[in-house]
Homo-oligomer: A and B are copies of this chain.
């Protein structure tokens, strides 16, 4: 119990700090002092900083992966037609519900995802692809019948354009919202931004050159 407590406190602090400032910019000293645990605890419980980074991702992605798998199972069993918008809503629901509908944690998730791509942590990228490639490929392949006019290539790139739009705007949501508020005085609650984002993606994904 004492162990589990320490481990969770480290993970909580690491998750928040990594999302806020990045991996290299966050020292184990900062993590352990934020978590109110001893400096040596990270290496004792996780073995290394790299392993801690991976553990943070696993704690995030495991529930999401499970939720999404279940939902995809249900869809397949029922065999009913899923439109693009249905599939997008399903994904949003899986992401937000996987962490107790806590919007802040979803924002952290997006920020971490963005860091996983930009901070050239090769180890992390390979690890995630190996561990979660299956479910993400499965999701993408379910988009196929919803966009019958797209070639595999068009589907691949369009989904990654969509991922980029989502990751960028949500991971920088605070800064963008502040920028827009500075300029116009208008507020954009995150739910509204997500709705706009879904409209944007839903219009772009079906587009093809062929």
Binding site for B on A (CB under 8 A): 20-22, 24-25, 111, 114-115, 117-121, 125, 129, 152-154, 156-158, 160-169, 171-172, 175-176, 179-180, 183-184, 186, 188, 192-193, 195-197, 199-209
Q: Once the chains are docked, how many angstroms separate the CA of A21 from the CA of B179? A: 27
A168–B169 CB distance below 8 A: no
Task: Assess the B169–A157 pair: CB atoms within 8 A.
Answer: yes
Q: Are B195's CB and A209's CB within 8 A?
A: yes
Complex Cα gap A176–B152 (Å) = 14
Q: How often does this chain occur in the complex, in copies?
A: 2
- What residues on B are CB-neighbors of A193 within 8 Å? 157
Identify A200's interface contact among B22, B117, B125, B204, CB under 8 A. Answer: B204
Question: Nearest B residue to A120 by beta-carbon distance?
Answer: B21
* Cβ-defined partner of A196 (8 Å) among B121, B154, B202: B154
Give chain B nearest CB distance to A144 CB in angstroms.
Answer: 13
Q: Would you call B168 and A156 a contact (CB within 8 A)?
A: no
Question: Quick one: closest B residue to A111, CB to CB?
Answer: B118
Q: Closest B-chain residue to A202, C-beta based?
A: B207
Q: Shortest Cβ distance from A146 into chain B, in angstroms?
A: 16
Cβ contacts under 8 Å, A166 to chain B: 164
B21 touches A121 (CB 8 A): yes
Please tell me if the beta carbons of B25 and A120 are within 8 angstroms of each other in the complex: yes
Question: What is the CB-to-nearest-CB distance from A185 to chain B, in angstroms, rounded to a whole number?
Answer: 11
> CA–CA, A169 to B199, complex, Å?
19
Can you report 17 A-B residue pairs in the complex whose CB atoms are below 8 A from each other?
A20-B120, A22-B24, A22-B118, A22-B119, A25-B120, A114-B118, A118-B171, A119-B119, A153-B188, A154-B196, A161-B168, A164-B168, A165-B204, A192-B209, A199-B208, A203-B203, A203-B207
- Inter-subunit contact B118/A196 (CB<8 Å): no
Contacts of A25 in B (CB 8 A): 24, 119-121
